[in-house]
Structure 1
Amino acid sequence: MSPNPGDSATHRFPVPGLAAEAEILVDRWGVPHIYARSPDDGFLAQGFNAARDRLWQIDLWRRRGLGLLSEVFGPQHVERDRAARLFLYRGDMHGEWLAYGSDTKRVATAFTAGVNAFVELTRSDPGLLPVEFTRLGYLPATWQPEDVARIRSHGLFYNLRQEVARARTLRDFGPAVEALRRRLEPPHELTVPEGLDLSLIPDDVLAVYDLATTPPVFAAAAVSGDDVAPPSGQHSNNWVLAASRTQTGRPLLANDPHRAVSVPSLRYVAHLATPDLDVIGAGEPALPGISIGHNGRIAFGLTIFSIDQEDLYVYETNPADPGEYRYQGRWEPMRVVSETVPVPDGEPVPVELRFTRHGPVVHEDPQRHTAFAVRAAWLEPGMAPYLGSMDYMRARTWDQFVAAMNRWGAPPENQVYADTEGTIGWKTGGLTPIRRNWDGLLPVPGDGRYEWDGFYDMDQLPGAENPESGWLATANEMNLPPDFPADRVIAYDWYAPYRKQRITEVLDAGRALSAQDCVRLQTDYVSIPARRIVARARELLAGEDDVDRPLALLAGWDADLAVDSPAAALFEVWYRRHLRPVLLRAALSRLVEPERIEAALRAVLPDEVLLADARVDLDLLEQPGDRFGPDPDAVLAGVLHTSLTSAVADLERVFGPDRARWSWGRLHVARLRHPLAALLDEPLAGRTAVGPAPRGGSGDTVGNTAYTPDFVQSAGSTFRIVVDVGSWDDSLVMNSPGQSGAPDSPHYADLFSSWAADEAFPLVYSRAAVESATEQRIVLEPGPPRSG
């Protein structure tokens, strides 16, 4: 009996805990439509279905979050497991549950009971087990309701990594070099907190934090501490259009969150229908509910709002006892928790977890009598990522939605909203620390001088309702209103504004849009930085014969990074590989000694895997001032000439001299590899891979396709949705590479080619439309209670 789609027969499963029969209708795109007669049965069926389609993925999520990877993958993951345990929520669960929606504990209990019901079925019928378990010889675990709330390490986090990168650059090179690394918004003068000795901060101070907050890398012979994947791009776009701005006279809401491009997909599209709730959209498969979508009355979608929710504290420790740190003039003991990490075929490995009053200790240096701990708002009660959607997904009006956002904690978000009454809105949410005497941009001493003074109320965060423009949009840019109080500090580390600028450009054109127009905007590849860089190059290189042909290719180009564009290939290779480093090297040459320029360049060059950010580059090109000496235009012309000539030679080595054969999609591709590929034998390792497919765009475009140094897409919107508010069956969605995480399922990668072609499919909602699209019917029947 297979739980996977592709078989038109009805499958029946006994499910302990169900009060009445429930149905799961799987449509031709792999989307499950879950019908139940009560909320408890609905969330139980949602958990069962999540395990049916994504069991290996959600089991890995739980193991990673709870620090139990070593139990099945070996002792090389003990340090990662220890790190994960440092960042679990360890507070009172009673208060934790109450911090979410009023019935969140009940929902989590039902959801995890559904997961466990499917896990128990795999024990009696191993044919239901995903292939990853059978190949690697382990079994999925059962869950506790607390697992969905205690695990925090799958969220998005701000701004600890920036604090440390800033401190290191200041430590080694000073503020002028730091200004070439990162742009602060709103403009702000950087000052080192009193008492902070930058020399005490080691380069690897966040090694444990990185182990806790990044996905594991599995290799055939992993080395402890080396299995760290860099965090991927964490952008998003969303917008909402009033009825007056659409072709149908109904509001439209669009959302395309940008995360790692992976197999299985991070998101899972589902429909949950009970007598008091009928919600459809996407969430993360290991969590109950829906965080992006609609409920038949309101639609909602989110992007990151970059609240600074983290601080690194630097402590002086007691030379006589490194387990004590100085706080308010006395030695205070760290709290020590001793645990064991199970490993295969051996005794459990003891680990020691240390905590200060501010949070988990991530680094200790007894020789220098220092220790470092992380204070994170996302370790407070009610901060499990996305679990706050329990309340707002059930709202029926704008006022109810805004009230529900009071319970939203993490990640910090821009929510856009639309309803059938015609209201559109934007509301930010997230737990925001109040720092009375510092700005959060650098680590601070942990001796009591730098403490959070509570948190801002949600109504102190910005929002808007029914603007005159008829639309609202966010794209992670600095979007604090002009009249926002300057002393109410939210953050200074924001993403670049270019995606939002392009969205504004399109929406301000005034044309009434359709749902399909919104899909086209979600996959728009016009690069604002490319447009401005090429314009500056034309200005400075006019008449340069030896670069005339490539410059002419760019000069006649519309800055669209289309998949088949020769100019796009030239621009991206030029800008990322040649222009940016040559430009920054020229700026650094006036700030640091010649022998230190390359080290400084490594400190300020953006990591393309993490983000695209042209703010510093454009400022240097367009407003050079005296940063390149008395004749900046001459210096910049040389930079542009040298780098463009090198880029042309680079492309000719790859494609040959015939520029008609150049195309961006020949370089820039999406290629997905299963996380366990290194541990799987052939042909399974090859069978779990997806792609390659040519891609347009970059990390600077609305259609975000951020890439690694070899131009392989690393992040972007694998999930996209456009909600036609009120005509719900006309909504559109995409979730690449497919809905299922099972390699033997026809829905494992069936959406990949459509996604790569920038297409979408119908998000059917009404029962009639669902029935007409049903591919497989699953019936869940009340079953006997589990033994034991």
Structure 2
Amino acid sequence: MITLLRWLTRLVGAGIAVLVVAGSLFYWMASRSIPDYEADWTVPGIDGEIEIVRNTAAVPHIFALTDHDAYYGLGFSHAQDRLWQMLLMRRQAQGRLSEVFGRRTLEIDDLMRRLDLDGHATRSLDAFSEESRGILQAYADGVNAWLRLVGSEALGRGAPELFLFEPEIAPWRPNDSVLISFLMALELATHHENEILRARASLALPEPGRIADLMPDAPGTGAAELGDFASLLELPRTLFAEATGSTGPRDALHPNWQGLNRGGASNVWAATPARSAAGGALMASDPHQSLSAPTLWYLARLELATGGVIGATIPGTPGILNGRSERLSWGITASYLDDIDLYIEEVNPENPTQYRTPDGWAEFETRREIIEIADEAPVTITLRETVNGPVIPGAHWNAGTVTPAGHVMTMRWTALSDENTTIQTGLRLMRARTIEEALEAGEDFVAPSANLMLASEDGRIAMQVVGHMPWRLIEHETQARMPSRGWVEGNRWQGITQYFANPTFIDPERGILGNTNNKMVDRDFPLHVSFHWGDTQRITRLGRLMEAREVHTRDSFIGAQLDTVSPAARNLLPLVARDLWFTGQPAAIGTTERMRQRALELLADWNGEMNEHLPEPLIFAAWMRALQHRLVRDDIGPLAEEFWTVEPVFLERVFRDIDGASVWCDVRPSSVIETCTEMAQLSLDAALQELSETYGDDIESWRWGAAHEALHEHPVLGETRLFSWIVNIRQATSGGDFTLNRAATPGTGPEPYVNIHGAGYRGVYDFADPDSSVFIIATGQSGHPLSRHYDDMGELWRRGEYVPMTLDPELARAANLGITVLRPQSN
């Protein structure tokens, strides 16, 4: 027995030793790809010495003799810190994921091939100016310089993920950067999915007219100028004053998903010197996207011939999309301009190679492509296209659910162009000196349409909708709200409207411009911009905060950016709970009635702040989610699974009985007529039961942050048990779906309240003291999980803190992490 124990001990010890040795070896190999920020390299293709100064936040400040070398240095820095991210995005846009990850990514590859993003990007390069093509080439040369060093210096393959997946790494090309912009456009697009969902809902509803409740138009006439909130809401000023008091706003310190309004989102606003305490223009920008590790954004500063520029870049592209120069600041939000149409195309029953047109049958343009699949035989797909765009199989975006037999669906989208020069706008903004030059640069922007906000050192501000607007005819059958018949001439695009037709707002009289993806104008179709907007709630809170004080500061803009008060909670609770508050009978501890009464007591005293330490946000979120689902499920059946995400305007229409919308409260199969109060109570009880099963029966101990952790998930390794605990980042967070500090939830799945969509970047710029400007990203600069800069900004971001955003070279060099020097090779 003793001998057996000895051998078991030896075997266990040997096993542990093997694991330790293997782990140490893997760590050593993986850590080889952590870049040395103090290295001195000799590289080809540069005009002179390049200095890349990493400040204390690991933000590269790139100094070079020429603009060519500055962009070369940016490409080099991106590749050093985010190589895997860049390669993955390129491979996804090319439709070549399955070569590495197997069949599980085949559907993604199929879609990318049908949209031909790589082909459009390659052909678009000819539409760029010679100067822009030179910048793209310089950037690509910088990326490739790092790739060569990885090979020649044995730098751990450049990223630890490449030890697990060994794809061949092709050199970076200028059109690869253009391709990344196409991928970003696709990830921000929502109108095609909205068209399909609206069509499905209209088919499922017993009364199709009730689609106006379920998927409502944004109310109001639209807003961009935010100087007078009372007028904005058409409320008497006395009521506004009573609601806000005189203390001013309170400074709160604080991979792809499904559902409504889950594409592009952002906040951006600006103030003229007349509304600034320090006498300079102010601007705040925080673009929202799906949270990931690392985040999409990468901070950088470049010294160009026209001066320094600093802000947020996307690895793989050379432009600063949100940031500032010495003269201008700029930021973007998704405009929600309707730049996509879906068409139902009739296939010739006598000849399936043809489709109907206004002039008779025409041949599909057809080609075949081969998709390579790891460890499997390749798959050949047939791609078809009409004059309305590529054919989209029914498996994508649930298109098959609204495509009749004998027909196919096609997609017309402004981004699918061989002259898509969107990325050129960013390159021109970095060198623009005036508002006029910046607005002119917006003409190169194609898709996705965006609101470009500008502020200048001379105190001017402007907002311009950029991106191509389809020229539709007034007789369009569905007004692009749902798929339409492709063979009807009145449904087809007549081209693109001219740039001057896009909404523009310059130097507003009241001194403040802002956008939260809200409805900004109310123009008649077809110049209407959109029927489908990304926000109806945040804009009301922004307007209130902007009007609550006469002048603003950098800190008041930061306070607004981090604000966690939910206007949806403040609007909905008085409606939904009005017949439930203070009306219950005495009930024993542990009963459903007692728990309901305690929840209502907490909500009655709550100010709508979605604070991570409070139970009220969790109760509110669960209640509204359960209520909406209960209201719609008897009307639309299984389609209700698509409507877990709360739509405040729908609930408001129901409980205000707008146009008879209270009919949603009646359960159709039942013999009695249920009231909205009954639905509210049943939904609250269901929500409380769900929460008690997860968090216990003590309501006061519940915490929003326990359910509302920000999930920054690695796009590949984050799903594995072995590596997820290393590569994923989870943090308890405040905010919610409708707060300015946006922290949106999926509404469904095993974690319906987890935070998966928010501000990956925040920046606040003050031209009264430009070097007091600040910015932050959600994770860290490095994409290497073993680097201390993988998540070092994450806790700052969670707490609502920032790092300095200075163009002062001496401040960048002070206490820097290291200076990388790139020297030209001698001839």
TM-score (norm 2): 0.82
TM-superposed CA distance for 1:187, in Å, is 8.7
What is the aligned counterpart of 1:39 among 54, 62, 67? Answer: 67
Distance 1:2 1:249 in 2: 50
Q: Equivalent residue for 2:171?
A: 142
> Structure 1 residues 405 and 216, CA, compared in 2 at 3 Å: closer, same or farther?
closer
Retained in 2: the 8 A contact 1:296–1:726? no
| Higher fraction of helix | 2
Retained in 2: the 8 A contact 1:167–1:442? yes
* AA aligned opposite 1:575: M
Retained in 2: the 8 A contact 1:169–1:177? no
* AA aligned opposite 1:359: G
* AA aligned opposite 2:169: P
Distance 1:733 1:142 in 2: 32
What is the aligned counterpart of 2:450 among 399, 406, 413? Answer: 413
> Structure 1 residues 387 and 72, CA, compared in 2 at 3 Å: closer, same or farther?
farther
Residue ranges of structure 2 left out of the alignment (5+ in a row): 1-30, 222-254, 395-399, 586-595, 667-672
* AA aligned opposite 2:513: L
Q: Equivalent residue for 1:181?
A: 214
* AA aligned opposite 2:438: F
Retained in 1: the 8 A contact 2:271–2:461? yes
Distance 1:119 1:289 in 2: 21
What is the aligned counterpart of 1:695 among 733, 736, 743? Answer: 733
TM-superposed CA distance for 1:275, in Å, is 2.3
TM-superposed CA distance for 1:142, in Å, is 1.4
TM-superposed CA distance for 1:167, in Å, is 1.3
What is the aligned counterpart of 2:681 among 624, 627, 641? Answer: 641
TM-superposed CA distance for 1:346, in Å, is 6.7
Q: How does 1:8-407 map onto structure 2 within 5 Å?
A: 10-89=38-117, 96-97=124-125, 99-100=127-128, 103-128=131-156, 129-150=158-179, 152-155=182-185, 156-173=188-205, 174-185=207-218, 232-344=262-374, 349-363=379-393, 368-383=405-420, 386-407=423-444
Retained in 2: the 8 A contact 1:503–1:702? yes
TM-superposed CA distance for 1:666, in Å, is 1.8
* AA aligned opposite 1:314: I
Please give the per-residue CA displacement for 1:548-574, whole angstroms capped at 9, x wherever unaligned: 432221111111111111222221221
Distance 1:118 1:187 in 2: 52
Distance 1:431 1:368 in 2: 33
What is the aligned counterpart of 2:553 among 505, 514, 527? Answer: 514
TM-superposed CA distance for 1:186, in Å, is 6.8
Q: Does 1:432 align with 2:469?
A: yes
Using the TM superposition, name which of 9-18 and 252-261 deviates more: 9-18
> Structure 1 residues 416 and 584, CA, compared in 2 at 3 Å: closer, same or farther?
same
Distance 1:495 1:551 in 2: 30
* AA aligned opposite 1:504: G
Please give the per-residue CA displacement for 1:288-307, whole angstroms capped at 9, x wherever unaligned: 11111011100001101011
Please give the per-residue CA displacement for 1:402-432, whole angstroms capped at 9, x wherever unaligned: 1111111121111111111111111111100
Using the TM superposition, name which of 640-649 and 295-304 deviates more: 640-649
Retained in 2: the 8 A contact 1:583–1:617? no
Q: Does 1:650 align with 2:690?
A: yes
Residue ranges of structure 1 left out of the alignment (5+ in a row): 189-214, 218-227
Structure number with greater Rg is: 2
Q: Does 1:502 align with 2:550?
A: no
* AA aligned opposite 1:613: E
Distance 2:426 2:707 in 1: 39
Retained in 1: the 8 A contact 2:517–2:533? yes
TM-superposed CA distance for 1:725, in Å, is 1.9
TM-superposed CA distance for 1:360, in Å, is 1.3
Q: Secondary structure at the match of 1:696?
A: coil
> Structure 1 residues 624 and 641, CA, compared in 2 at 3 Å: closer, same or farther?
farther
Distance 1:726 1:25 in 2: 26
> Structure 1 residues 123 and 630, CA, compared in 2 at 3 Å: closer, same or farther?
closer
Retained in 2: the 8 A contact 1:426–1:464? yes
Please give the per-residue CA displacement for 1:20-52, whole angstroms capped at 9, x wherever unaligned: 111111111121111111111111111111101
Distance 2:374 2:758 in 1: 37
Q: Does 1:758 align with 2:808?
A: no
Q: How does 1:481-630 map onto structure 2 within 5 Å?
A: 484=523, 487-546=526-585, 547-576=596-625, 578-584=626-632, 592=635, 598-599=637-638, 601-602=640-641, 605-606=643-644, 608=645, 613-624=647-658, 626-628=660-662
Retained in 1: the 8 A contact 2:93–2:117? no
Q: Secondary structure at the match of 1:293?
A: strand
* AA aligned opposite 1:665: G
Using the TM superposition, name which of 355-364 and 430-439 deviates more: 355-364
> Structure 1 residues 319 and 477, CA, compared in 2 at 3 Å: closer, same or farther?
same
Q: Equivalent residue for 2:502?
A: 461
TM-superposed CA distance for 1:124, in Å, is 1.7
Distance 1:216 1:78 in 2: 16
> Structure 1 residues 339 and 249, CA, compared in 2 at 3 Å: closer, same or farther?
same
Retained in 2: the 8 A contact 1:97–1:382? yes
Retained in 1: the 8 A contact 2:277–2:552? yes
Distance 1:768 1:248 in 2: 25
Q: Secondary structure at the match of 1:299?
A: strand
* AA aligned opposite 1:371: V
Q: How does 1:734-745 map onto structure 2 within 5 Å?
A: 734-745=776-787
Retained in 1: the 8 A contact 2:333–2:451? yes
* AA aligned opposite 2:507: N
Distance 2:814 2:639 in 1: 61
Please provide the CA RMSD for this pair.
2.9
Q: How many residues align?
A: 728
Retained in 2: the 8 A contact 1:260–1:715? yes
Distance 1:43 1:142 in 2: 17
TM-superposed CA distance for 1:649, in Å, is 3.4
Distance 1:536 1:680 in 2: 44
> Structure 1 residues 3 and 782, CA, compared in 2 at 3 Å: closer, same or farther?
farther
* AA aligned opposite 2:443: N
TM-score (norm 1): 0.86
* AA aligned opposite 1:735: I
Distance 1:126 1:141 in 2: 17
Q: Secondary structure at the match of 2:628?
A: helix
> Structure 1 residues 554 and 630, CA, compared in 2 at 3 Å: closer, same or farther?
closer
Please give the per-residue CA displacement for 1:642-667, whole angstroms capped at 9, x wherever unaligned: 22233333333333343331221122
